[in-house]
Homo-oligomer: A and B are copies of this chain.
Amino acid sequence: MKISARNVLKGKVKSITHGAVNSEVVVELPGGTEITSIITKNSVEKLGLKEGNEVYAVIKSTSVMLASD
Contact = CB atoms under 8 A, between A and B. Distances in A.
Copies of this polypeptide in the complex:
6
A48 B39 CA distance: 25
Given A59-B63, A63-B60, A69-B54, A46 B4 contact: yes
Given A30-B32, A35-B9, A68 B40 contact: no
Nearest to A6: B36
A16 B3 CA distance: 16
A66 B56 contact: yes
B61 A65 contact: no
B6 A3 contact: no
Contact of A66 (B19, B37, B65, B68): B37
